[in-house]
Amino acid sequence: MNRFLKAFGLIALITFFASCKKDDDNVAPPRDFGVQYNSEKDSIEKYLKNHYISSVDAEFNVELDSITDPGTQVSIWDQTTYPLQHKIVRSTNTNNTVDYTVYYLNIRQGSGDKPTRADNILISYKGWKLNDAQFDYQPYPSSQFSLYSDVYVEGWKNILPLFNAGSYINIPDNPEPADFTDFGVGVMFIPSGLAYFNTGSGNIGAYQSIIFSFRLYAVTYTDIDGDGILNKDEFDPIGNPTATDIQNVDTDGDDIPNYLDTDDDGDGYSTKLETKIPNTSPAQYYTFDNIPTCTSGGKKKHLDPNCG
């Protein structure tokens, strides 16, 4: 970790973007999403039952290996040190209606901010396939990138928001580089329908499930649609009180989630206009917590089309 911000981190970042781009040379004929997933789900579960967590070192590097001694090596599926968890995920691709069970390991939750699927993150990671062949390794990131625009593996957008980032440490007059502590650490097992499906990428072939271990160091909250509301606040506690993913919050029912919608309540007035403090010039805007609430419905002004 003391090498965290050394110059070759930039090279790692460049490699990341190259590896994340879809590769036209790997494109295969499209298959039915559901049929393909059933096959991959079986393969992922066999991997989880035939591999074990061989080590988690002091810097939270996670290693998984094939089981060779069932008497002493407990499978990922059965071990209880880091209980295997899962999330049911639906793709944003409207042609893909599969409910995916995405398995993941929470090695450490982290103590800082949680990203949404549209925020910027600083992360290190390693990626490999179910045959244990590694296809990517980025241990020393030098700058943040956007989960919304820079990541092509859709599974990242669903699993990383379950974790917290760390805390930045920079001790004055200390010659050692700045560092992070208490960052989130996990492993996610992603079917191709939430990754590259029939396109592949680099040496990831079409229809291949992939695995990533990661360390989530930092988060910067953003406002993707520029409506004055941070992505993390694009929820509707009254209209959609149980939602935990901003992708599932669409107050006006126009099939555009609030975090991408410049008029969240569909009343013809932009969210930014509705959060403007009256009679201010130049314009000033309410902080999210101070946006007025409509007395009739109890919603904040920008979420109630009947609120003047």
Model pLDDT for residues 62-115, shown as the tens digit of each residue? 999 999 999 999 999 999 999 999 999 999 999 999 999 999 999 999 999 999
Task: Report all structural domains of the chain as residue ranges with CATH numbers, in order of start.
Answer: 8-220 (3.10.50.40), 224-308 (no CATH)
* Predicted confidence (pLDDT) at residue 17 exceeds the cutoff of 90: no
Residue 10 CB: number of other CB atoms within 10 A?
Answer: 13
**Per-residue pLDDT at 170:** 79
Confidence of residue 176 (pLDDT cuts 50, 70, 90): low
**Residue 199 corresponds to which tokens in the numbers above?**
């396109």
Please tell me the number of Cα atoms within 13 Å of 83 on its side-chain side.
Answer: 2
With a pLDDT cut of 90, the percent of the chain lying above it is 82
What is the end-to-end Cα distance of the chain in Å, rounded?
53
- Between residues 173 and 8, the one the model is more confident about: 173
Burial (0-12, 13-18, 19+ Cβ within 10 Å), 281: exposed
Q: Cα–Cα–Cα angle for 120, 123, 124, nearest 5°?
A: 160
**Rounded-to-10 torsion of CA 52, 140, 245, 104:** 0
pTM of the complete model: 0.88
pLDDT at 28: 84
Whether 110 and 184 have beta carbons less than 8 Å apart is answered as: yes
Segment 128-148, tens digit of pLDDT: 999 999 999 999 888 899 999
